[in-house]
A and B are shown apart, each in its own frame.
Chain A
């Protein structure tokens, strides 16, 4: 065992960091290292035992300070007792020093409870619940290798698919709508996988809090809060992305905190391990949902703070600082990026068959998918007069330029033939490119081929109805400020309003126009407006197809850009579309654009009641996971109200404590060493966690998309950790005022016990929310939940 360290004066708070940070070379040769290493090998959770940059916060009386280094290892399992017990004298504030075996035992207990609570009644209900209909279906798509589109990055769904595949699910269940029974299909594997990851959150949070506050009660409180929160249990029990996201998120936070603790031994194996694990977790979090970005921000801010600290350390040479910087760039930027790219590579490699997501992607992309009509076809590359073509709008799900034998109804512009955008492939999407000034039969094989060039003035004739694409200064049916687009003329003979100038984005006059690749703009010659699709759906008379207008606002948006998809011209040689194969970088970029647009497209409709961010922390309204009626098996996602309101109150308390502490420190109030230690935990550890909470909560106020209650759960994890830290500090602070140590200990222990009992009792009350209720609704007196509907907005 390491000998007790010589007495060292406690550094003042301001200088503490730089003093503790000894250059690593010297530290490596310090005499205590071998002993440490030996202990680490024996300890079951060795990583806990590395010497910490920060000293143990547990309220130490002054005489204990002499043994600070020793005490810092107090959590290590084989601490000799003489360093702890005998030194506690009368008048000392309580020190919840756990016996040697407590920590691993506590971790084991917490983990066990967590797994038990998440896996309990995992099979129930044996039907599709809530968003399982999406994510289960997407897992099936991976097993069937069918291409689909989703607004989230692929990792989460790939993992679900993998879990299903490994557990023997064959991908045949349709996941049509919530409430469909699984029957013989094996769904437990996928649920079990999510429950497993969800169970890991508790030990992760436990270890994070332990690392930050060095206080076992704080960590235990956090763990109990998360174990017995009905919301966290429910969200972990189904095939959803959230447990996967939160797993990576908490993994990143834990590794970040662990890595910070290794800061006094940079470039050691464990330092590298935690640093790269942070990077891996970040990639995972980003790969599941874009909200993972918030934890990336958290880690980024922490890293900047860290680097700033290192830069101010003059004993560190600039070369060393460069190494630090490089290591972080490598592990926190390049490694996650590489992993993130790799998961998209796997995603595209696995999904190689045409499926329901094709229409969202560009023509070039579609040519990659087996079964798509663009796959393995060959078309002439350059457009010529007389070609028969289809034009696809470049906005997401933009549709093909379309016309049909129907007129605009009375009162909607001129009563001419409708022109729309149509999402499906159809003969009415075909148009013939003609010269504007001659109507010679271009299909005559003897006439020479004449290519269409950038800047040419053309006429587009609808193949089925022989009307020309036409526009004029009548207002468009829905977008009143745009002009109406119609089909006009008989057998191709119209007027000068049928002339369009064809331009390719970023080209010069005279260049040829390529199929699929050229982004084309059609400018109406007479009025100067540009052909575009507004994206609005026409009423019944327009067969609910998408409106096409001519916009006088010359803005470069995908709405007014088109590309040519099909191209038929027997006089031209065909080339294979493989020549046009998009590169992986292009595919990656395109899929991100589509995802981002899809996300921002999820706008709430008018009159729709949506969840507001301010609802969440007060547990205002839950989500119905399964069942509506009295006879149904009902599961309702709602946080344990006692826990959530405790969390809410704690945030206010924490702010008060922080302000008081910060002002006291700034005013130069002389604090005892215990209080100093406590204030460090409150300001530093609490600050880190609060930052996490803010980063995972505030951005939702600025989002325009539809929001749901479950978006709050990542923030709730941080909030729970803050609760653990704050109440521990608060109780210690209160206990510190009581003079006999026994009373102080009683107050501390009693307060802690009361909180735990409160949590347990509230869980006993509300557990049917997660584990299912059958029978009358809560408003009925005979219901098991009778009297528990504390807010009118809860629906169970």
Chain B
């Protein structure tokens, strides 16, 4: 009874050129008014007074700084997810002409005039509003009745938590939009499958599925769960097609290839393109540079690129270099030495060699310079032509300022007694010979004769006498070592670890023969003129890897919660509080909807189990097509809930209530499914049916009542008196801010 298609031209003129002059031009359009009405209502609920409050709300403080960085084209790394969502938010800023000049430092700070609040919040709000008609269409495509579809859309419309989350510069509503879009397009595609394979609309919906999936994944990695669900569904459907003997092998292969292209290849390509745009937009160096490798930093404008511009590429005997540890944890640092020596005895009574300290220092310093020396020759300058150092060569490393040799020996390191101490050798004449030969091993070499390259080569230094490897232990030395990081010789090197790898960052060919001259030379800045260009794939791989592995320290948050709290909504998040009036915004769901959704999920599970067991004994309670519908709806809605919720039990990161929103959206879609099933198949008599309908209406008014009750906390207005706020605290665990009088 419902048909889509607006503005479909029905003009008869096509054969003759001027046919249209003889016949009147007729345009028939079918418009589903309820769908339009739902869209309008969705827009109204999400866009109403969008600029209020004109202050930083909750995580806007976090995403806002990225928007600013996009505006200024400064490179950043955000470990919370891929860049597509951030870019969409930045698009809002771009449309509003935001110049990026705002200090995102605390929640509640007033926006200055130059911040286009409305456009910044527009995209998430639009995405949130469009979820309402999407919900309607999904249920319609699952072959449920108009009423059920309408119910689903209205439940999404009146869901306070979804409204709150849509109205600010946050990513969840965009994520949910793409997830629902992906599900809808897959359903449309699947329904077209039976009659019109490989038609235009078939291709359109199939491709849109892939595009929406990759957008969802591009916004947040959570989108991966829904993507997997759709892939599994597509796989299952294809498996049924394999069993269809009417299809020839060739057409089966075509079907398979089309799906592989649309659901795997295109999403992967799109995902790459997000990063491509991201990296193309952000070309200036910025605050997060130092997480990245030297090669990556060198590719950014300003920063390291300015320093390393034009350095000689190949390290030669006599080169002056700084050595950066590849690991970058606990912080980036460079191999360093200074005139202070290790204390003769440590606090715990252990002795040391009392030689010059070698550490890893997190700041640029003249003491970070080392000179590569050929053990067989005395000179510390680069000969002409330069003799490059290759993989496997044995070198000595001379500290530039103190001209002492990097050394390690069988003395326990200060903080890691299982490893060897690394020092700059001082001859105390106590039968402790210098052991200062190091073999250079280029780990990322292509052949065994590779030359040691600036920035690009990752090098291990293996001590010739003891085969210990120069390593950053990660511990920071006590007062006597100025809290710099400890460097040790790791004797039992277990495989390759980044803490054992070093790369040359700054590099120049040494020219000065005399120590005095050399000191002057070391103090002068390096300047030369080639730039390093990394390929896009190399940059992408590095950035992707950093995003996945970067770990922020375990932060405890006042509003963090565990996954178990979400299902009953035992927790809330205060998003914003008016500085004076006490008006406030909370992320708080519609209690009625959440409770009904839980009940629906439980009922669905029990009924399915019951039917399944009975069917196994060949007792068929409901007709076969009703059963298929029931399973399909459960697979999409129930499955969507499960895949978006259950994985959180395995995650160790800090979790918040808003992580549950995609799951709860699917759970809400399950309510009308169950209700319609109950009314169609379990209410056998007319009387029962009408009673059931009355109950549904009553229940729906309850949902509406709860929505109205909590809307002051959803929209942040009007401000409520403390007594009213107290009355809204329906659960003891909710943290509603009540001002002390």
The CA of A628 and the CA of B492, in the complex, are separated in Å by 9
Q: Which residue of B lies closest to A621 (CB)?
A: B495
Closest beta carbon of chain A to B122's beta carbon, Å: 34
Tell yes or no: A553 within 8 A of B by CB.
yes
- In whole Å, how far is B88's beta carbon from the nearest beta carbon of chain A? 31
Query: Which residues of chain A are within 8 angstroms of B492 by Cβ–Cβ distance?
Result: 628, 795
Of A204-212, A288-296, A662-670, the stretch lying at the interface with chain B is A662-670
Does A793 lie within 8 Å of B495, measured CB to CB? yes
Interface residue? B242 (CB, 8 A): yes
B494: A residues at CB distance < 8 A:
609, 621, 795
- Residues of chain B within 8 A (CB-CB) of A479 are 556
B651 to chain A: closest residue by CB: A702
What chain B residues lie within 8 Å of A312 (beta carbons)? 616-617
Q: Which A-chain residue is minimally distant from B247 (CB atoms)? A: A667
Chain A residues with CB below 8 A from B617, complex form: 311-312, 314, 318
Contact of A308 among B499, B556, B616 (CB under 8 A): B616
Residues of B within 8 A of A704 (CB): 652
A606 touches B (CB below 8 Å) = yes
* Distance from A161 Cβ to chain B, minimum over Cβ atoms (Å): 31
> Which residues of B sit under 8 angstroms from A311, Cβ to Cβ?
613, 616-617
Known: A311-B616, A540-B347, A607-B474. A553 touches B556 (CB 8 A): yes
Interface residues of A in 745-796 (CB under 8 A from B): 793, 795
Determine whether A179 belongs to the interface, using a CB cutoff of 8 Å to chain B: no
Q: Which residue of B lies closest to A310 (CB)?
A: B616
Q: Which residues of A contact B652 (CB under 8 A)?
A: 704
B329 touches A607 (CB 8 A): yes
Contact of B556 among A314, A481, A666, A668 (CB under 8 A): A481
Distance A607 CA – B478 CA, assembled complex (angstroms) = 19
B243 touches A667 (CB 8 A): yes
B130 interface hit (Cβ, 8 Å):
no
A194 to chain B, nearest CB (A): 26
Distance in Å: Cβ of A709 to nearest Cβ of chain B: 11
Complex: A479 Cα to B556 Cα, angstroms: 10
Q: Quick check: is B239 within 8 A (CB to CB) of the other chain?
A: yes
Q: Which of A572-621 contact B (CB under 8 A)?
A: 606-607, 609, 620-621
Cα(A218)–Cα(B333), bound, Å = 56
Expressed in whole angstroms, the Cα–Cα distance for A704 and B653 within the complex equals 12
Which residues on the A side are within 8 Å of B347 (C-beta)? 540
Minimum C-beta distance from B16 to chain A (A): 51
Chain A residues, CB < 8 A from B650? 702
Interface centre among A308, A314, A553, A609 (most CB of B within 10 A): A609
Q: How far is the CB of B343 from chain A (nearest CB, A)?
A: 14
**Do the beta carbons of B243 and A552 come within 8 Å of each other?**
no
Interface size on A, residues (CB 8 A): 24
Contact present for B495 and A663 (CB under 8 Å): no
Task: Let me know if A609 and B497 touch, CB within 8 A.
Answer: yes
Binary CB contact string for chain B from 483 to 521 against chain A (1 if under 8 A, 0 otherwise): 000000000101111010000000000000000000000
Contact B239 A666 (CB under 8 A): yes
Alpha-carbon gap, A620 to B478, bound state (A) = 37
Instruction: Tell me whether A667 and B242 are in contact (CB under 8 A).
Output: yes
Q: Helix, strand, loop or mixed for chain B's interface? A: loop
For the complex, give the distance between the alpha carbons of A553 and B733 in Å: 12
Chain B residues whose CB sits within 8 angstroms of the CB of A667 once the complex forms: 242-243, 245, 249
Q: Judge whether A553 and B242 touch: CB under 8 Å.
A: no
CB neighbours (8 Å) of B329 from chain A are 606-607
In the complex with contacts A311-B616, A314-B617, A553-B556, A609-B327 CB distance below 8 A: no
Cβ–Cβ contact A609 & B495, under 8 A? yes
Is A607's CB under 8 angstroms from B472's CB? yes
Tell me, rounded to whole Å, the shortest Cβ–Cβ distance linking B736 to chain A.
14
Asked if residues A314 and B618 are in contact (CB atoms below 8 Å), the reply is yes
Interface string of B458-497 (1 = CB under 8 A from A): 0000000000000011100010000000000000101111
Question: How distant is the Cα of A443 from the Cα of B556 in the complex, in angstroms?
Answer: 43
- Give the number of residues in B that approach A within 8 Å (Cβ atoms): 28
Q: Tell me, yes or no, whether B386 is within 8 Å of chain A by CB.
A: no
* Nearest chain A CB to B257 CB, angstrom units: 15
Instruction: Tell me the nearest residue of chain A to B560, going by C-beta.
Output: A553
A663 CB contacts on chain B under 8 angstroms: 242
A308 / chain B contacts, CB cutoff of 8 Å: 616
Instruction: With both chains docked as a complex, state the minimum distance between the C-beta of A745 and any C-beta of chain B, in angstroms.
Output: 34
CB closest chain-A residue, reference B249? A667
Contact digits for B561-592, partner A, Cβ 8 Å, 1 yes 0 no: 00000000000000000000000000000000
Which chain B residues numbered 429 to 469 have a C-beta less than 8 Å away from chain A? none
Q: Which of chain A's residues 376-393 have a Cβ closer than 8 Å to chain B? A: none
Within the complex, the shortest CB–CB distance from B415 to chain A, in Å, comes to 12
**Contact at B613–A607, with CB atoms within 8 Å?**
no
Chain B contacts for A314, CB-based, 8 A: 617-618
Are A552 and B239 touching (Cβ within 8 A)?
no
Query: Closest CB-CB distance, A155 to chain B, in whole Å?
Result: 28
Residue of A nearest to B240 (CB): A666
Contact pattern, A 275-311, Cβ under 8 Å of B = 1, otherwise 0: 0000000000000000000000000000000001001
Taking the nearest CB of chain A, how far is it from the CB of B224, in angstroms?
15
C-alpha gap A312/B612 in the complex (Å): 11
Tell me how far the C-beta of A702 lies from the nearest C-beta in chain B, rounded to whole angstroms.
5
What residue in chain B is nearest A312 (Cβ atoms)? B616
Q: In the complex the two chains form, is B618's CB within 8 Å of A607's CB?
A: no
B168 to chain A, nearest CB (A): 24
B558 within 8 A of A: yes
A31 to chain B, nearest CB (A): 32
Q: CA–CA, A621 to B473, complex, Å?
A: 21
Measured between beta carbons, the chain A residues less than 8 angstroms from B242 are 663, 666-667
Q: Contacts of B496 on A, CB cut-off 8 Å?
A: 793
Q: Which of A645-703 contact B (CB under 8 A)?
A: 663, 666-668, 702
Q: In this complex, what residue of A is CB-closest to B551?
A: A606
Chain A residue at minimum C-beta to C-beta distance from B243: A666
Q: B651 to nearest A CB, angstroms?
A: 10
Q: Known contacts being A314-B618, A553-B556, A606-B474, is A668 close to B245, with CB within 8 Å?
A: yes
Nearest Cβ distance between residue A330 and chain B, in whole angstroms? 21
Tell me the bound Cα distance from A666 to B245 in angstroms. Answer: 9
Closest A residue to B494 by beta carbon equals A609
Q: A621-B494, A666-B243, A704-B652 are in contact. Are A607 and B327 (CB under 8 A)?
A: yes
Interface centre among B330, B478, B495, B616 (most CB of A within 10 A): B495
- Alpha-carbon separation in the docked complex, A621 to B492 (Å): 13
Q: How far is the CA of A668 from the CA of B249 in the complex (A)?
A: 12
Instruction: Give Cα A318 to B330, complex, Å.
Output: 64
B650's closest neighbor in chain A, by CB? Answer: A702
Name which residue of chain B comes closest to A606, CB basis. Answer: B474
CB distance from B241 to the nearest CB of A (A): 10
- Are the CB atoms of A607 and B616 closer together than 8 Å? no
| CB closest residue in chain A, given B558 | A553
Q: Which of B410-438 contact A (CB under 8 A)?
A: none
Q: Looking across the interface, which residue of chain B has its beta carbon closest to that of A779? A: B467
- Note all chain B residues with C-beta closer than 8 A to A793: 495-496
A19 to B594, CA, bound (A): 48
Cβ distance B488 to chain A, nearest Cβ, rounded Å:
11
Question: 8 Å CB contacts to B: which residues of A509-540?
Answer: 540
Per-residue contact bits, chain A 306-326, to B (CB 8 Å; 1 contact, 0 not):
001001101000100000000
**A605 (CB) vs chain B CBs: closest residue:** B474
Q: How far is the CA of A620 from the CA of B494 in the complex (A)?
A: 11
Complexed CA–CA distance, A609 and B501 (Å): 13
Give complex CA distance A540, B479 in Å.
Answer: 12
Q: List 26 A-B contacts (CB under 8 A).
A: A312-B616, A314-B617, A318-B617, A479-B556, A540-B478, A552-B558, A553-B556, A553-B558, A606-B329, A606-B474, A607-B329, A607-B473, A607-B474, A607-B497, A609-B497, A621-B495, A628-B492, A666-B239, A666-B243, A667-B242, A667-B243, A667-B249, A668-B245, A702-B650, A704-B652, A795-B494
Return the 10 tightest CB-CB contacts between A and B, nearest first.
A607-B474, A609-B494, A609-B497, A666-B242, A311-B616, A793-B495, A666-B243, A312-B616, A607-B499, A702-B650
For the A-B complex with A607-B472, A609-B495 known, give 11 more contacts whose Cβ atoms are closer than 8 Å.
Answer: A308-B616, A479-B556, A553-B556, A606-B474, A666-B239, A666-B243, A668-B243, A668-B245, A793-B495, A795-B492, A795-B494
